[in-house]
């Protein structure tokens, strides 16, 4: 199947919904769904982005920009997951509570804008990972058109490039709480520390990286292997350590294994996590 065929398949599939709202982070997956929804449904499609301490302000700004680029109607909803003790305790099911709050808030909005179906950006590759948020999606009858059309992450990036979306090569950017080691509370204060630290690194030209939070206010910085020497060299090493200490970290470390998306999952027994 060519990329044109895949684009037509997704657009036709979403066109069968008549009306929808896309849970829209501004990343490549939700951007492709939003683009297809806009092409298929026009004014009968909308995108909704969450604003909370869990979401970097830079990501909200980019979501606003990408929605305008697509031309889809766009709404911002305030979510309150950081007031939920089950979220703050940061167990391996944290994402379930976050997505439950998101979909609950979107459902309130959906009633007001007369768009009964909620779509997310989950793709086929997401099915094999630890994704408690997918259970929340199922509980709220959220649809996953990329999965329904059999589209992988590679397909999604190809579609984004086909539609000239500026985020076609954007690295994954999960919520700030994903940087905090399981069992350490995901408080607004810690989320703000992480956001400020990552903003500082981004200002030095880094694109694919994480600042992980571990017990005792320890920062573990992950960058791609080719950038490790740069961060370990002066003057950036001293500048970085000073900045993160000013933000509230008591120790600053550089992970010699480099950037690995989702590596905190390796610290817990995910097979023991059970959700209803």
- Residues annotated as part of the active site: 175
CA distances from 140 to 159, 209, 261 (A): 27, 32, 27
> 10 Å Cβ neighbour count for 2?
9
State whether the Cα torsion 161-260-264-131 is positive or negative: positive
> 10 Å Cβ neighbour count for 6?
18
The per-residue DSSP string of the chain comes to --HHHHHHHHHHHHHTTSSEEEE--SSHHHHHHHHHHHHHHGGGEEEEEEESTTS-HHHHHHHHHHHHHHT-EEEEEE--GGG-HHHHTT-TTHHHHHHHHHHHHHHHHHHHHT---EE----GGGGGS--HHHHHHHHTT-B-HHHHTT--HHHHHHHHHHTT-TTTTPPP---GGGGBPTTS---HHHHHHHHHHHHHHHTTT--SEEEEEETTTEEEEEE-GGGHHHHHSTTHHHHHHHHHHHHT-SEEEE-TT---TTGGGGGS-GGG----
């Amino acid at each position: 199947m060519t990329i044109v065929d895949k684009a037509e398949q997704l657009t036709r599939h979403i066109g069968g919904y008549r009306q929808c709202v896309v849970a829209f982070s501004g990343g490549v997956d939700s951007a492709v769904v939003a683009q297809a929804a806009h092409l298929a449904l026009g004014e009968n499609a909308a995108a909704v982005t969450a604003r909370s301490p869990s979401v970097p302000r830079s990501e909200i700004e980019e979501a606003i920009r990408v929605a305008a680029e697509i031309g889809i109607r766009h709404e911002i909803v305030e979510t309150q997951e950081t007031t939920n003790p089950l979220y703050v305790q940061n167990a391996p099911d944290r994402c379930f509570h976050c997505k439950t709050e998101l979909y609950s808030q979107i459902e309130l909005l959906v009633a007001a804008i007369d768009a009964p179906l909620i779509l997310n950006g989950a793709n086929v590759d997401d099915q094999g990972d630890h994704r408690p948020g997918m259970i929340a999606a199922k509980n709220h009858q959220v649809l996953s058109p990329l999965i329904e059309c059999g589209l992988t992450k590679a397909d999604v990036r190809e579609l984004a490039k086909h539609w000239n979306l500026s985020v076609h090569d954007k690295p994954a950017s999960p919520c700030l709480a994903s940087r905090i080691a399981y069992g350490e509370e995901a408080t607004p204060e810690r989320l703000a520390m992480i956001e400020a630290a990552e903003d500082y690194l981004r200002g030095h030209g880094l694109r694919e990286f994480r600042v992980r939070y571990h017990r005792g206010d320890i920062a573990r910085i992950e960058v791609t292997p080719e950038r490790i020497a740069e961060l370990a060299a002066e003057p950036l090493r001293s500048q970085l350590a000073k900045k993160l200490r000013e933000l509230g970290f008591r120790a600053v470390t550089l992970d010699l294994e480099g950037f690995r998306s989702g590596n905190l999952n390796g610290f817990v027994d995910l097979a023991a996590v059970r959700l209803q």
